Chains A and B, each alone.
Chain A
Amino acid sequence: MRDVRGDVVRRQLQADHGCSVERVRSICGYLIQGETASETIASRVDDLFADPIIEHGAANTLFLSTELFDQTPDMVVTVGFKPGVTDNPGKAATDGYLTLFPEDRDARISTYTTYAFYGTSDLDPTWLAGTLHNNLIERALVADRTACQGGHWPALDYPTPPEQVFIQPKSIDLECDDQTLESISTDGLLALNLEEMHAIQAHYRDEEVRTLRTAHGISPNAPTDVELECLAQTWSEHCKHKIFASRIHHVDHETGEDTVIDSLFKTHIMTPTHDMQKDVDWLLSVFHDNSGVIAWDDTWSVCMKAETHNSPSALDPYGGAMTGIVGVNRDILGTGLGARPIANTDVFCFGPPNWEGTLPDNLFHPSRVLRGVHAGVRVGGNESGIPTVNGAIVFDDRYIGKPLVYCGTVGIMPRNLPDGRPSHIKTPVAGDIVYMVGGRVGYDGIHGATFSSLELTEESPSSAVQIGDPITQKKMVDMILEARDEGLISCITDNGAGGLSSSIGEMAEYTNGCEIDLATVPLKQAGLSPWEILVSESQERMTVAVRPADQAAFEALAGLHEVEATPVATFTSTGMFHVRYGEETVAYLPIEFLHDGVPQLQLESEWTPPEQQPFVAPKQVDHNELLSSMLQRPNIASKETWVRQYDHEVIAQTAIKPFVGVERDGPGDAGVIAPLHGDPHGLVISCGIAPRYSDIDAGAMAAAAIDEAVRNAVCVGLDVDKMAGLDNFCWPDPIESVKTPDGRFKLAQLVRANRELERVCRAYRLPCVSGKDSMKNDYGSGENKISIPPTLLFSLFGDHPDVRNSASSDFKQAGDRIYLVGHSQQELGASELAFMMRERDSNNGIGGNVPLLLNPEQNLATYRQLSSTIHQGLVKTAHDCSEGGLAVAIAEMCIGGRIGASVDIDGTGEGDLWARLWGESLGRIVVAVKPEHEAAFLATMKGHPTTILGEVTATSVLEMVDGDTLLVSSDVNELAHAWKGTLDMTGGVA
């Protein structure tokens, strides 16, 4: 029988490293700590650990020393978890073990995997072990050739976590000089700046504060460690978005502008959305909750949130990405009184997977980051039963320094609960009991929020990395949604960054107070100190408030679902965030100070346009060769092998899938779902991202991202009059400092991006209902510093009146007429073509005109008409024209339909041939129409830029001309082959 686990390792060694190994065999190991006699366990191996039909099982012996391994391997590597790291198979095994041995209640199981290698030639065993494990969370043992021949097999011990030392809460004296204040912050990983330390210092000098504190038996003049940690979490960049809230002095050397902006967020994001909220009745909840909520029909509302998990994914791509996706699922579960997650989106930015340059210390090769991140969101999404319906993968060298991992989730909830309460409004009152539901609190996940607000260094703590546990979370989701429908929930939020300190602290704003007893919080391991319990970000936890009268019913439901739910706090109206450990008060902070006490940052911004050597079109050129090469570019190439490993159809609602067409391998522009079974009313989910435009202008980058998200959604049939957006900014540190001498420029980029965001969103009537920012995406310092290109991911969700009238990008039938909607301008700056030419010859530049959105009002009007043709059933084929321009768009449409086309780009715009063929001007969509619908299509599009390009042909050749000049004549199957090859890193199925 085939050893598929071993085959996968063998293929990956081949695909990623070109190492050929003849054969790999795998062994799954279980280390059991318990009271049951080992002979008793041995008699039940086939009932639990081994499949009696396809596997061999053995107890108390290493397989390698049995006759099953009669041939001595050349090398053996055994990989297991480090102590305290989440071991999901071990947890499941323990659960199954208790089904067999219910009396052995305290038994624990840890898992490991052993790989035996045959025919390894001259591989270095230590290197091999390095490719198979991440030493931040895993340990590996190796047997080299000599050890194998001697029968010295690696054997791991049960990973017993070290004892945690309980530290009594203590106070920290802040009556010291500034230097000491700064070192308290730095040494404690608090990420508080001097001004913030001063604000805290001042609080404890207030006589009223001192009197109150004395009365409660807590250190009157100085914060406790619990308080300082709590403030650090609550005031972290991650939680408070201090840069977006800052007061910015902005100077523009291009225009001479010299101005002050009081909060980018309030000015450019919140105000426009609130203005739009006055005009429509469907914006139910914006900004203040865990996700933004819109009314979808009379009975249902939908919500969406996107998050980033960049720093954890850099340290442990698998665990970091998995906690990213299951974490954003909890944002949906914690919206209003609880929404059900129904769709995920994943957008990643990585270094090139085929990178051959040097790698800075402590950074993984981009292919390993890609594999790990992909596996994390795959497992997180698939096991949670949430389809991944949309996403993107973007590549640029600079993401080697910090990968970007954006995870988004869409949720649905009834507009009113059975008891009549609107589900998007939380209804807590003082006296409600606050439960911690789901997982327990452990040492894992301490300092995640403050850590993500620091840049990546060699000393980044491993405790900041966690592995998600989708099944614990799935049980919790099932339970909470039942509790919601039974009317048992008065308030709910996620335990994410900042742990209980943030979740209870934020909810306590509703009633103006809370009282927490940390001694009641269930722990993964004994010995955690009070401050650790309060700020630990251990995963899979929700904080839920319940009326005292509903406690019994709530706890019974938790018991049924085998979900732990423990009362840990009570809401009050005292105005205080009051934390006890048993009887001792360990924190006593005014709610107002906790949430609004952080001083506003004062920042400097200075814009001078970056100088880029302009892109110049080559003289001698073969456009056929260019097209093939462009299709192979990682940014353009098919991501199918990766995307197909996501379940994109669970819930039976996905009407437009990530890949479309006859062979189901053409690109889908946006996801469309019909979430109510039996009802074709739909929802469109799309995204836009164009980070490289920031090399010329981050404002243009932002506008391009928004337009792309809208365009993608229009291509499948979005109703443009009901759409909402999410802005997720990932930036390099934009605060000027010794480490960041160009901070003013990076902040000016942020200012420009926000201004364009406001301009375009107002023009598109596209409210941003939720968003997030991640502002320290740098690696290293000095000459070795790597800063990511400023990147805005714009996600969109909107209405689709009837999914039966959708369009997809694949060409359908010979004779269908092809049109370009929109105009091509002379805009080749920062285009994919320019980057390719620069990679071919470093004398080439990428500068020039970057695509601009000059008249978004006109674009919206055109999109509305085009959507209407799709809703009328006139158009079944539409594709967004973006990276690689018209040439790539048309090639992809041919690939999807596995059919040829004849296209003339003459008359598509004012630009030269290069701009019209390869340029990435915004606002363009390629459409194909059946001849019998052509007249009606043109009538609807009257007055909007609509240019005939040609028609779909009954051939397998894509032919593109510019008037009399033949530019491209390529076989569609060869184009498909080129497009699909680059990122197929599977090593095949043999």
Chain B
Amino acid sequence: MLPRVAVLFGFGINCDHETKAVFELAGAEAHRIHVNRFISGDSNLADFDILAVPGGFSFGDHLGSGRLLGNRMRFAMRDALRDFVDAGKPIIGICNGFQVLVKTGLLPGPGAGESPDFVQRGSLGLNDSGRYEDRWVTLEFDQNSPCIWTKGMTRISCPVRHGEGKYIMPTPEALEALSTTHQLTVRYVDPSTSVGEGLSDTALPYPLSPNGSMRNVAGICDATGLVFGLMPHPEANYARWLHPDHTRGTAPIGTGDALDSWEGEGLQMFRNAVEYVKQNR
């Protein structure tokens, strides 16, 4: 049986169609499930192997991005989410989904070996520019991160599309702790650096870092490496024809062959989780 992915939608989530599509291209069976179907018991989260919280503007991002959907999940899906994480099943939050996972407390989550406690430990603030922007960025991954979503990935480019993506931890110690456990999985880098040498703790200038995140953080994982969230949109580079350089003939080729030579660099992230489920269930 193919790994089953629940792609959440409703209340202003709006990347549900493409998120479903990339999981299918990566070899999974994906379903768009309205949040309320999980809350009402119409659908059971335990029937799925992967949960994806896609990008969008849940509840218009009023009162802080991801806040209101995060609250719905924190209060109405608490047990189902805890069981899902405890069962060792992967979760990804992209853009608004990342904001939701941070506001629910699933990211960065408690220390290793602990069940989710739904305590918010970090946050995402307004971009320093004060503007929502859609622009392509270069990302590099921490090779020592426990994150199962990013295994084997070194550097990719994909777009950011957000106004509230500045990752913040309340204290330098808390941030350092995440760094030590390699939970600062993915960061904005200067594309002119050599691959593997881009990661930097010094804040990059706008627009290399589009938002002013602490240590240029673009995404983080929990202590298990199964729950992962990031502001940029890897699904938006599932095919090379979506890369801004494709007419120049210089759009990088992805690692798989879902679209022959036209697979984009972002698809591997979804394939990683699908393969993980196949090997670990």
Q: Are A96 and B236 touching (Cβ within 8 A)?
A: no
A978 contacts which chain B residues (CB < 8 A)? none
Q: Are B233 and A649 touching (Cβ within 8 A)?
A: yes
Q: Are A645 and B68 touching (Cβ within 8 A)?
A: no
Q: Which of A3-11, A120-128, A348-356, A950-958 contacts B (4 or more CB under 8 A)?
A: A3-11
Contact of A650 among B15, B61, B122, B128 (CB under 8 A): B15
Q: Are B248 and A812 touching (Cβ within 8 A)?
A: yes
A96 contacts which chain B residues (CB < 8 A)? 59, 63, 67-68, 71
Given contacts A11-B130, A655-B241, A674-B241, contact A99 B63 (CB under 8 A): no
B36 contacts which chain A residues (CB < 8 A)? 560-562
Q: When chains A and B are docked, how far (Å) is the Cα of A558 from the Cα of B258?
A: 37
Given contacts A49-B63, A88-B62, A804-B262, contact A4 B18 (CB under 8 A): no
A54 contacts which chain B residues (CB < 8 A)? 123, 125, 168
Is A2 part of the contact surface with B, judged by Cβ < 8 Å?
yes
Is A470 part of the contact surface with B, judged by Cβ < 8 Å?
yes
Give the Cβ gap from B106 to chain A, nearest Cβ, in Å. 15
Is A652 part of the contact surface with B, judged by Cβ < 8 Å?
yes
A664 contacts which chain B residues (CB < 8 A)? 135-136, 244
Q: Are B244 and A657 touching (Cβ within 8 A)?
A: yes
B141 contacts which chain A residues (CB < 8 A)? none
A854 contacts which chain B residues (CB < 8 A)? none
Q: Are A660 and B247 touching (Cβ within 8 A)?
A: yes
Q: Are A2 and B59 touching (Cβ within 8 A)?
A: no
Given contacts A383-B60, A808-B247, A812-B248, contact A51 B123 (CB under 8 A): yes
A92 contacts which chain B residues (CB < 8 A)? 59-60, 62-63, 68
B12 contacts which chain A residues (CB < 8 A)? 383, 385, 470-471, 474-475
Give the Cβ gap from B12 to chain A, nearest Cβ, in Å. 5
Give the Cβ gap from B258 to chain A, nearest Cβ, in Å. 8
Give the Cβ gap from B198 to chain A, nearest Cβ, in Å. 19
Q: Are A677 and B130 touching (Cβ within 8 A)?
A: no
Q: Are B71 and A385 touching (Cβ within 8 A)?
A: no
A2 contacts which chain B residues (CB < 8 A)? 125, 128, 212
Q: When chains A and B are docked, how far (Å) is the Cα of A648 from the Cα of B55?
A: 14
Given contacts A48-B63, A385-B57, contact A53 B168 (CB under 8 A): yes
Contact of B130 among A7, A378, A474, A478 (CB under 8 A): A7
B40 contacts which chain A residues (CB < 8 A)? 560
* A-contact bits for B231-269, CB 8 A (1 contact / 0 none): 001011011011011111100000000110010000000
Most chain A CB atoms below 10 A, which of B42, B57, B120: B57
From 481 to 499 in chain A, residues with beta carbon under 8 angstroms from any chain B beta carbon are none
A807 contacts which chain B residues (CB < 8 A)? 247
Q: Are B63 and A649 touching (Cβ within 8 A)?
A: no
* B-contact bits for A42-57, CB 8 A (1 contact / 0 none): 0000011101111100
Q: Are A678 and B259 touching (Cβ within 8 A)?
A: yes
Q: Are B128 and A478 touching (Cβ within 8 A)?
A: no
Q: How many A-B residue pairs have CB under 8 A?
A: 203
Q: When chains A and B are docked, how far (Å) is the Cα of A969 from the Cα of B85?
A: 63
Q: Are B11 and A4 touching (Cβ within 8 A)?
A: no
* A-contact bits for B43-87, CB 8 A (1 contact / 0 none): 000000000000111011111100110011001100000000000
* A-contact bits for B158-172, CB 8 A (1 contact / 0 none): 010100000011100
Contact of A652 among B21, B133, B247, B262 (CB under 8 A): B21
Most chain A CB atoms below 10 A, which of B11, B120, B133: B11
Q: Are A645 and B262 touching (Cβ within 8 A)?
A: no
Most chain A CB atoms below 10 A, which of B18, B129, B238: B129
Is A621 part of the contact surface with B, judged by Cβ < 8 Å?
no
A48 contacts which chain B residues (CB < 8 A)? 63, 67, 71
Is A550 part of the contact surface with B, judged by Cβ < 8 Å?
no
Give the Cβ gap from B254 to chain A, nearest Cβ, in Å. 13
From 4 to 42 in chain B, residues with beta carbon under 8 angstroms from any chain A beta carbon are 9-15, 17-18, 21-22, 25, 34, 36-37, 40, 42
For B25, the closest partner residue in chain A by CB is: A678
From 199 to 233 in chain B, residues with beta carbon under 8 angstroms from any chain A beta carbon are 206, 212, 233
Q: Are A99 and B241 touching (Cβ within 8 A)?
A: no
Q: When chains A and B are docked, how far (Å) is the Cα of A54 from the Cα of B248?
A: 42
Q: Are B161 and A649 touching (Cβ within 8 A)?
A: yes
Is B276 part of the contact surface with A, judged by Cβ < 8 Å?
no
From 848 to 882 in chain A, residues with beta carbon under 8 angstroms from any chain B beta carbon are 876-877
3 closest A-B pairs by beta carbon, nearest first, are: A385-B14, A677-B21, A92-B62
Given contacts A5-B126, A478-B34, A664-B136, 15 further A-B contacts (CB under 8 A): A8-B130, A51-B103, A51-B120, A52-B120, A53-B170, A92-B60, A471-B12, A471-B59, A560-B42, A561-B36, A650-B55, A650-B161, A652-B233, A986-B131, A989-B128
A-B contact pairs, 5 of them (CB 8 A): A2-B128, A99-B76, A678-B239, A806-B246, A812-B249
Q: List residues of chain A with CB under 8 Å of any chain B CB.
A: 1-2, 4-5, 7-8, 11, 47-49, 51-55, 88-89, 91-93, 95-96, 99-100, 378, 382-385, 470-471, 474-475, 478, 560-562, 644-657, 660, 662, 664, 674, 677-678, 680, 803-804, 806-808, 810, 812, 876-877, 986, 989
Q: List residues of chain B with CB under 8 Å of any chain A CB.
A: 9-15, 17-18, 21-22, 25, 34, 36-37, 40, 42, 55-57, 59-64, 67-68, 71-72, 75-76, 103, 120-123, 125-136, 159, 161, 168-170, 206, 212, 233, 235-236, 238-239, 241-242, 244-249, 258-259, 262
